[in-house]
Structure 1
């Protein structure tokens, strides 16, 4: 659901509390800012955009799509840009930067963001992390390690979103490379394919199946899965599998934000980015079950504690996203060959 590369666009015109005015992308007025965003933050956006409109009088139009789809859409619109603000995930934000689809702009407050582009084209607005999830009524005993997922009891009851089609699936491939090495990850995924239900372009479509017990294990991400557990009471538990050395690890797959190149409403876009990176808005990150992008903002409260609890005792590592993007096509080709697709 969250980062499907080829997902069809869903246009969401957020008129939160009647304040987010304007029209769809391409028809905005000077009092409107158009946001192209990877999906997953709709509820959080609704509140934040309403606050922004009350403060500035500027309406916000939101276009949600998968991370890769966002960038592909901007590439198609290169000669007639529609977006003002872009929010997407790695390695697709790096692709947007390489394609000169993002403007160089220093967002106020972004100097406090550790994960930011040295050329000031994007910065991490909210942090999110790769996780796995299981149904506690069916996955007994609960899986603890990556090797546990190879158990025959999960045959036909395990599914993960496909690398190269879904962002979370791509993240899972990177995590397995981190745990087992590049060839070891391919060997592992070849063995895991015996249990895998089959390809899935959407991580989000797996979660309802997991909650119902149709699947016993699926991949996911911290932000999405915590939201489902808390808001929808979904019957699932999150876990971060341990590798052969017994250590659990994961990495951030942040929602990066930046100003679109040749933005039709660039000044309004700059104001929205400043608002989203302000300390007051960054403190609300746990409402979306994410973590603040700014290192100087400490999120507090029960929701923030849930995020911290999931990451307690877990090694957090950081991919070199430019290197990931450079080798992505080759990695996906090797993955397809390994699993027979």
Structure 2
């Protein structure tokens, strides 16, 4: 399950507690010796002061509305958080936009304490006045571009848009965006829907970056003849591609690597090149912010501090094949090495997310018109 948004998603959101998360720790910790988080291998920076919120709270639970994808990391982190604080974490997973939709519906009767979602949805939450300012411990180690200047959200993990293909079905393997227009992918290709899925929105943004707004719409209009149809879930495209129902789909690095290693998926990760042969991707950090009117704001602050701690950030690569949001934490395990090798030679594009939010409704309307929806 991965980063989807649909009208029915709020009904089907999966409620998880720390003990019920479906992580596969045996595989994820295989490169970490005894399975415990390892110290950063190449960080010479001094550790930040990780005192965090020291205010007392009688909260017994803290509720998180989170985009899916980090369950393997959450599983161990939430258990450790409860050991340290006595506060149990309850999590509701849903799609990128659905996190914000739930918060909007509950604005007068807030049910959750901490929100974790992707851009541009976290920025839309700020615009809708759904988050309250809080600067977590060690936020000074997170790049300025990865946190809100007013302190309403902070990146907790880095991630990037990717594509996948089935090597038995996609012969020869695609290399460029123009390759995807080939007739051999007729109804053999699917990407998650922009405006509904975070990864799908990133597809539109990447194409805008490469071809310009009008050029992106023209490309997607041509691509529609090969597209199976709308998909509110990026994650559901993984098993379809692995089984050969699809030849090509979009995804993201952390999710796709997890599927390959944990689920033994038989697809390959790739980054389409533009017309000049340059490969690129879009940065898709997981952002977290304390929800305005949260029932347990101090508990939410403590949890956010904990997720940005050196221990938690180091565990991202070992537990979930994620990348730390903190600049001073450098993954030194085999998972981190694998990610670095995969990203070699790929340009990383970071959109102006505030501008993306301003143009969002118009861009999605133009996209729907271009593809005939």
With normalisation by structure 2, the TM-score equals 0.86
Pairing 1:53–2:53 present: no
Q: Give the distance between the partners of 2:289 and 2:370, measured in 1 at CA.
A: 36
Structure 2 counterpart SS, 1:203: coil
**SS across alignment from 1:176:** helix
Distance 1:122 1:113 in 2: 11
Q: SS of the residue aligned with 2:65?
A: strand
Unmatched runs of 5 consecutive residues or more in structure 2: 22-57
RMSD of Structure 2 on Structure 1 (CA): 1.3
Contiguous gaps of at least 5 residues in structure 1: 18-28
User: 1:303 pairs with 311, 318, 335, which one?
Assistant: 335
Deviation at 1:16, TM superposition (A): 6.1
1:237 pairs with 2:241: no
1:109-129 per-position Cα deviation (integer Å, ceiling 9, x unaligned): 111111000000111100110
Q: Provide the C-alpha distance between the structure 2 equivalents of 1:197 and 1:268, rounded to a whole number of angstroms.
A: 44
After superposition, the C-alpha distances for 1:249-305 in whole angstroms (9 at most, x for unaligned) are 112111101111121111111111111001111011112122101111101111111
Match of residue 224, structure 1, among 230, 251, 255: 255
CA drift at 1:5: 2.1
State the alpha-carbon separation in 2 of the partners of residues 267 and 58 from structure 1: 11
Q: Is it true that 1:12 corresponds to 2:12 in the alignment?
A: no
**2:107 counterpart of 1:75:** no
Higher relative contact order (CA 8 A, sep 6+): 2
Tell whether 2:366 aligns with 1:334. yes
Secondary structure in structure 2 of the residue aligned to 1:283: helix
| Structure-to-structure mapping, 1:1-341, within 5 angstroms | 1-6=1-6, 7-8=9-10, 9-15=13-19, 30-114=59-143, 115-286=146-317, 287-341=319-373
Alpha-carbon distance in structure 1 between the residues aligned to 2:142 and 2:78: 21
Instruction: Give the SS at the match of 2:162.
Output: strand
2:2/2:236 contact within 8 Å kept: no
Q: Quote how far apart the aligned CAs of 1:319 are.
A: 0.3
Instruction: Between 3-12 and 254-263, report the one with greater CA deviation.
Output: 3-12
Deviation at 1:14, TM superposition (A): 2.6
User: Structure 1 stretches (4+) deviating beyond 4 angstroms?
Assistant: none
- After TM superposition, give the deviation of residue 242 of structure 1 in Å: 0.5
Deviation sequence 1:140-165 (CA, Å, 0-9, x none)? 11111111111111111111111112
Residues of 1 paired with 2:108 and 2:164: CA distance?
Answer: 42
Q: Which moved more, 1:77-86 or 1:223-232?
A: 77-86
Structure 1 contact 13–62 (Cα < 8 Å) conserved: yes
Q: How many residues align?
A: 330
**Does structure 2 retain, via aligned residues, the 8 Å contact 1:16–1:49?**
no
- TM-score when scaled to structure 1? 0.94
Aligned match of 2:38:
none
d(CA) in 2 for partners of 1:147, 1:288? 32
